[in-house]
Amino acid sequence: MKEKLRNILLERSDDISRDWQERIAKLVPEWSEETLKSFMQEMMTALYIYLLDQKLQAAMRHIHQILNDYFPAASEGATILINSFLLNRYILLAKMTEQGESALNSLEVFGFLNDLYNPLVVAVFEQYHVTNQPLMLPEQFSSSCITNLNALEFAGVGFFVLDRDATIIYWSRGVEKIHNLKANKVVGRNLFEHNPEWRHQTLLESAILSALQNGEGKELTDIKMRINKEKFIFNILIAALFDARGLPVGCSILIHDVTQQKSQETQLYRYEQYFENILNDAADAIILLNENHRIIMWNLAAEHLFGYSEEEVFGKDLSLLLHNTQHSLDEMGQMDQMVIDKGFVRNQRMRMLARDGRNVLVEITRTVLRNKRNDFIGSSVILRDITQQEQLRQQVIQSEKLSAVGTLAAGIAHEVGTPLTSISSLAQILQMKVENQEFKDKLSLIQQSIDRISRTVRTLVDFSRPLTEKVEDIYLNNVIEHVVRILKYDKRLKHQEIIVELEPSIPLVRASFDQILQVFINICLNAADAMEGHKDGRLLIKTWSNSRLVCASITDNGSGIAKRDISHIFEPFFTTKKDGKGTGLGLWVSYNIITSFSGDIKVESIEGSGTTFTLSLPIHLK
């Protein structure tokens, strides 16, 4: 700021001199233009000695000469000189804030110039015993200065000066507005005697007296004061004024009325609390992005959904939540551009990635954010987790498929069963009549194929009918022990290891023993097929329970299930086995049996490593 002042003084001295002369002319209207011009040259010299060379004593010697040359009485001339310097201060304020007219900038410059001029003004005042008359303020300023001073007054800023006895010697228009008292009513009076509201502030009175007596300045904030029965809140800056010997001779006091600001801050704080509560109570994840699509706000729902805290994601790109694939990045890039071009994106589905690796399916709604100039400044993002909703939808689709198969099953059995019976009968007759062994072998193959088709049709019909099996309390460990005895005779598991880990104290469940037995056999035989060709195949069957469910798992270390196939394995007629080795109905049947008893089947598989089926049935409470 000092460098800026120096440049203005050197580069714009003619402008400063001209503006200053116009204003001083109103202080001494009786002077001729020639006298005024000569006076201005001397004043500019004194001012530049003080401001540029920073030589107060040299400037005072020049001022003494000016007083002798132009005024009959030094005290009268000193008053005009002090007013002239104050005028010059406002001229420089205008010059220094022409390109920055904010109240904050003006206040900083005003404080800087005030501190700069105070030693000179105090020195003139003390040396020539100026009478306590109101120091005159300029009636007109440049448009820039008027704008800045209006901004200061609008902001409730006032400034006054006290001498060593706390007598008011300067009272600005800003203070006039705050106290509703004109300068000519208060200048020359003691601050505390004439303004009791200042005396009642113990902390404030102590700070002012400390500045006057000890030269210690102080800044006080949030000082509450009642003026004319109206409540105010002030920030107050007290600065001591010193003479050439460094002794305190007075103080300047800058007061800023922050009543409205504090009220607005309180109201803003309430709005912020409301806004924060709304955001954090929202069920959907809400994110704000800046103009570079980086995260600047992240609510609690987003934290719970993705597992990241706001501190961890602040300033990060939204791609943090995407799968590391080109498709995902391209999809997000297209969405970014659509938001800018169109202004919004509604209910677009996207798969995202949580911190723990979970896949999260969300519906995204993004809306553009623009400022008053219609510049793009960011976007709001609302993410609704529809992972569970999608799972339920898939279950409904699965149920509809199963329902359709059940409806068609009886018709299929009739349409297929009748021709099969005829074909089977004819094949048996031909086998009895032909002598050629080759024909007999081929007819035998036909008969085997017919039997396989018949079994498939019977299975389909059996599980499309309402369950008629006996439902009773069963001990799941007994079912598994029975399954293991049967599996020992299957050639596919003859050389594989079967491990059983059964929790002995599991509760009873309500189900059909034979149907649950069939479920375990179906899954175990599938495991046997998956381990075919493995020399170290292992089948592990476990049971356990919790407060609501009895659970069992069947784990193999076979070939596993491809990720693309897992969502289809419970569909009817879906199989990954070679032709002739599977009907695609085993898991579909098992799924129907377990769900008919209010249970559930889940599968986890790693292709090439093995598969685990987990069955759960509700505990039967008698």
Which helix (H) or strand (E) element contains residue 360?
Answer: strand 359-370
Average pLDDT over residues 67-95: 83
pLDDT one-digit tens code per residue, 112-142: 787 788 788 878 877 775 544 433 333 333 3
Whether 52 has a pLDDT exceeding 80, the answer reads yes
- Which domains, from first to last, does the chain contain? 2-228 (no CATH), 282-385 (3.30.450.20), 390-462 (1.10.287), 472-618 (3.30.565.10)
Closest by CA to 27, choosing from 62, 89, 64, 76, is 76
Which helix (H) or strand (E) element contains residue 383?
Answer: strand 376-385
Q: How far is CA 202 from CA 220, 223, 567, in A?
A: 12, 11, 79
Q: Which two tokens stand for residue 106?
A: 């003006």
Percent of the chain, pLDDT > 90?
18
CA separation for the pair 187, 191 (Å, rounded): 9
User: What is the model's pLDDT at position 520?
Assistant: 92
CA separation for the pair 105, 157 (Å, rounded): 13
What is residue 563's three-state secondary structure?
A: helix
User: What is the model's pLDDT at position 308?
Assistant: 93
Report the DSSP pairing between strands 295-298 and 344-353. unpaired
- In what side-by-side order are the strands of the sheet with 230-242? 168-171, 157-163, 248-257, 230-242, 218-227
Whether 21 has a pLDDT exceeding 60, the answer reads yes
Per DSSP, which regions of 412-474 are E strands?
Answer: 472-474
pLDDT one-digit tens code per residue, 369-418: 988 888 888 899 999 998 888 777 776 666 666 666 666 666 676 677 77
CB–CB of 107/230 below 8 Å? no
Q: What is the pTM of this model?
A: 0.38
CA separation for the pair 167, 194 (Å, rounded): 10
Average pLDDT over residues 82-89: 83
Give backbone dihedrals phi and psi of 338, rounded to 5 degrees, phi first.
-65, -40
User: What is the model's pLDDT at position 147?
Assistant: 39
CB–CB of 162/191 below 8 Å? yes
User: What is the model's pLDDT at position 384?
Assistant: 92
3-state helix, strand, coil in the chain (%, to 5): 55, 20, 25
Own/partner contacts of 290-297, CB < 8 Å, gap of 24 or more, are: 290/377, 290/378, 291/376, 291/377, 291/378, 293/317, 293/318, 293/336, 293/378, 293/379, 294/318, 296/378
CB–CB of 96/5 below 8 Å? yes
Whether 148 has a pLDDT exceeding 50, the answer reads no
Q: Which two tokens stand for residue 311?
A: 């501190």
User: What is the model's pLDDT at position 154?
Assistant: 41
Q: Is 613 exposed, middle or buried (0-12, 13-18, 19+ CB in 10 A)?
A: buried
Q: What is the DSSP string of 296-350?
A: EEE-HHHHHHH---HHHHTT-BGGGGS-SSHHHHHHHHHHHHHHHHHSEEEEEEE
* Residue entry with tokens 């954090």: 280
Q: pLDDT: is 182 or 492 the higher one? A: 182
Q: How confident is the model at residue 489 (pLDDT cuts 50, 70, 90)?
A: low
What are the beta bridge partners of residue 403? Answer: none
CB–CB of 148/97 below 8 Å? yes
pLDDT one-digit tens code per residue, 259-288: 877 777 777 777 777 777 887 788 899 999
CB–CB of 548/618 below 8 Å? yes
CB–CB of 155/101 below 8 Å? no
User: Which residues, at least 6 apart from 409, have a Cβ–Cβ distance to it below 8 Å?
Assistant: 460, 461, 463, 464
Amino acid occupying residue 462: D
Q: Which two tokens stand for residue 187?
A: 């200048």
pLDDT one-digit tens code per residue, 343-356: 899 988 889 999 98
> In this structure, what DSSP letter does residue 371 have?
-
pLDDT one-digit tens code per residue, 434-487: 888 888 888 888 888 887 777 667 666 655 555 445 788 999 999 999 888 878
Whether 93 has a pLDDT exceeding 50, the answer reads yes
CB–CB of 493/601 below 8 Å? no
pLDDT one-digit tens code per residue, 506-557: 999 999 888 898 899 889 988 988 888 788 889 999 999 998 999 999 999 9
User: What is the model's pLDDT at position 146?
Assistant: 37
Q: How far is CA 27 from CA 21, 135, 136, 200, 385, in A?
A: 10, 11, 9, 39, 76
User: Which residues, at least 6 apart from 168, have a Cβ–Cβ distance to it below 8 Å?
Assistant: 160, 161, 162, 186, 187, 188, 189, 190, 191, 194
Q: Is 8 exposed, middle or buried (0-12, 13-18, 19+ CB in 10 A)?
A: middle
CB–CB of 562/607 below 8 Å? yes
State the number of CA atoms in the 13 A half-sphere of 146 facing the CB. Answer: 5
Q: Which two tokens stand for residue 125?
A: 């005042």
Average pLDDT over residues 195-216: 86
Q: Which two tokens stand for residue 424?
A: 């089977």
